[in-house]
């Protein structure tokens, strides 16, 4: 099974990830990793930091002659901004210069509970690790599971369906058409838009909304649509709480900074309808075998993959670092004061879609490894082909 850890502070020397449990024989190029890092850096509404960074991963272990070797892969993404922070973030000697302590927590951020929980007299260490900069390491880590899945015909893609007040319909025929070529086609199309939206009117509205809140020193959240194609029937399980694929997928989405809601398909809409308008009826034909009239369940039934496209949605709250201050207080004087500004983004929803894709990849890869096992890509490929064949033959008259 694939496990990974990330390390690193937003303004420290680097971010790192160790990815353990990847099978051997997966072809990986530098471009496979760095192209995902580049995608994460894009998006209308990003702040000044993205002008400083140009994220690239150094591979320190686990890959030889362009293929994984089954041992842990270590990835390092250096922070260019580190050179501006060597005093504030000095690792050992406390610098002679005065390093200003941060004592005013920003509402909505980890600042207050983190400062109290870890017993600091300064909020800086909380800001450094709770920052969404950490997602650079997660995207690098996730890119490896992604290439593993792609080699097996399983793809993950996303687009943004809402930013603030601007929204577009989810799962339109245009989306279905793109998904027919694999979920990555959807991402390629979405990546052409500065806000990763597909509908031009929604895109214009979103960019105008970002400009407007940016002028007011405010921020915007949004909704991300995520799709996984090529997953055969029977990944995940209903037999135990910790083997339920629904929970693992939603857990991965909610592990992302500022993601506060997630659903499978249109779960919240479905909750308002009778069952007859929700469940996806079966049809059997000699030509197509088993088919469905709809996929309102989002590709998951009984916490297992149904064989249809998996569809997840994630809600991102507006970033909690605002240029226009919110009411706060000083933890040293216990006097009310306005919150301070820490450089941030006006809107990072487009980037969060890329992060969400990366967060889902190891979950699906693990569901596959749980079902099929195997230590080398070729071995797993053979087992997956046999499984796909078995499922298809089950429904042939």
| 373 Cβ contact list (under 8 Å, min separation 6) | 380, 383
Residue 367 CB neighbours (<10 A): 23
CB of 41 to ligand EPS, least distance (A): 7
Q: Does 270 bind ligand EPS (CB under 6 A)?
A: no
| 248 Cβ contact list (under 8 Å, min separation 6) | 236, 363, 366, 367
The residue within the footprint of ligand EPS, chosen from 6, 10, 161, 328 (CB under 6 A), is 10
The radius of gyration of the chain's CA atoms, rounded to the nearest angstrom, is 22
Using alpha carbons only, give the angle 248, 250, 256 rounded to the nearest 5 degrees: 105
Q: Does 344 bind ligand EPS (CB under 6 A)?
A: yes
Q: Does 346 bind ligand EPS (CB under 6 A)?
A: no
Q: Does 77 bind ligand EPS (CB under 6 A)?
A: no
CB of 38 to ligand EPS, least distance (A): 12
- Looking at the Cβ atoms of 184 and 345, the one nearer to ligand EPS is 345
Residues of this chain, 80-119, that bind ligand EPS according to CB under 6 A: 81
CB of 52 to ligand EPS, least distance (A): 8
Q: Does 132 bind ligand EPS (CB under 6 A)?
A: yes
Q: Does 260 bind ligand EPS (CB under 6 A)?
A: no
The residue within the footprint of ligand EPS, chosen from 270, 345, 365, 384 (CB under 6 A), is 345
Q: Does 319 bind ligand EPS (CB under 6 A)?
A: yes
Binding range to ligand EPS, per CB under 6 A, among 31-39, 96-104, 220-228, 338-346? 338-346
Binding range to ligand EPS, per CB under 6 A, among 127-135, 273-281, 358-366, 375-383? 127-135
- Looking at the Cβ atoms of 133 and 150, the one nearer to ligand EPS is 133
Q: How many residues lie near ligand EPS (CB under 6 A)?
A: 16
CB of 8 to ligand EPS, least distance (A): 11
Q: Does 306 bind ligand EPS (CB under 6 A)?
A: no
- Looking at the Cβ atoms of 323 and 391, the one nearer to ligand EPS is 323
CB of 131 to ligand EPS, least distance (A): 3
The residue within the footprint of ligand EPS, chosen from 133, 196, 311, 313 (CB under 6 A), is 133
Q: Does 348 bind ligand EPS (CB under 6 A)?
A: yes
The residue within the footprint of ligand EPS, chosen from 13, 27, 47, 108 (CB under 6 A), is 47
- Looking at the Cβ atoms of 77 and 178, the one nearer to ligand EPS is 77
CB of 236 to ligand EPS, least distance (A): 31
Describe the crossing of helices 349-372 and 377-394 by its angle, rounded to 10 degrees. 80
| 92 Cβ contact list (under 8 Å, min separation 6) | none
- Looking at the Cβ atoms of 155 and 345, the one nearer to ligand EPS is 345
Interface with ligand EPS by CB under 6 A: which residues?
Answer: 10, 47, 49, 81, 131-133, 135-136, 257, 319, 321, 343-345, 348
């Amino acid at each position: 099974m694939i496990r990974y850890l990330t390390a690193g502070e937003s303004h420290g020397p680097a971010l790192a990830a160790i990815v353990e449990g990847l099978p051997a024989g997966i072809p990986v190029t530098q471009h496979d990793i760095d192209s995902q890092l580049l995608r994460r850096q894009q998006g209308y509404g990003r702040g000044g930091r993205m002008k400083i960074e140009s994220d690239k991963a150094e591979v320190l272990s686990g890959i030889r002659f362009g293929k994984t070797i089954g041992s842990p892969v270590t990835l390092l993404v250096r922070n260019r901004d580190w050179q501006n922070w060597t005093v504030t973030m000095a690792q050992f000697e406390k610098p002679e210069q005065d390093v200003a302590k941060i004592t005013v927590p920003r509402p909505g951020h980890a600042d207050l509970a983190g400062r109290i929980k870890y017993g600091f007299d300064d909020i800086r260490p909380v800001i450094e690790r709770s920052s969404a900069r950490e997602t650079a390491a997660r995207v690098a880590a996730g890119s490896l599971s992604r290439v593993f899945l792609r080699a097996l015909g399983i793809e993950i893609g996303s687009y943004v369906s809402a930013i603030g007040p601007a929204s577009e319909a989810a799962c339109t025929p245009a989306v279905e058409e793109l998904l027919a070529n694999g979920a990555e086609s959807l991402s390629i199309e979405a990546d052409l838009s500065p806000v990763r939206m597909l509908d031009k009117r929604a895109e214009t509205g979103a960019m105008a909304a970002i400009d407007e809140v940016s002028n007011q020193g405010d921020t915007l959240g949004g909704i991300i649509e995520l799709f996984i194609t090529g997953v055969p029937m029977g990944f995940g399980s209903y037999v135990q709480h910790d083997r339920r694929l629904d929970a693992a997928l939603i857990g991965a989405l909610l592990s992302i900074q500022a993601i506060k809601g997630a659903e499978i398909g249109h779960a919240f809409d479905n909750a308002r309808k009778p069952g007859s308008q929700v469940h996806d009826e079966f049809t059997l034909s000699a030509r197509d075998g088993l088919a469905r009239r709809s996929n309102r369940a989002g590709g998951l039934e009984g916490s297992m993959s149904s064989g249809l496209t998996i569809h997840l949605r994630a809600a991102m709250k507006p970033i909690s670092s605002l240029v226009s201050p919110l009411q706060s207080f000083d933890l040293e004087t216990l006097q009310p004061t306005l919150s301070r500004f820490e450089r941030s983004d006006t809107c990072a929803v487009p980037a969060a879609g890329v992060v969400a894709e990366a967060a889902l990849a190891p979950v699906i890869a693990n569901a596959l490894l749980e079902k099929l096992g195997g230590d080398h890509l070729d071995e797993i490929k053979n087992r997956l082909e046999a499984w796909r064949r078995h499922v298809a033959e089950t429904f042939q008259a």
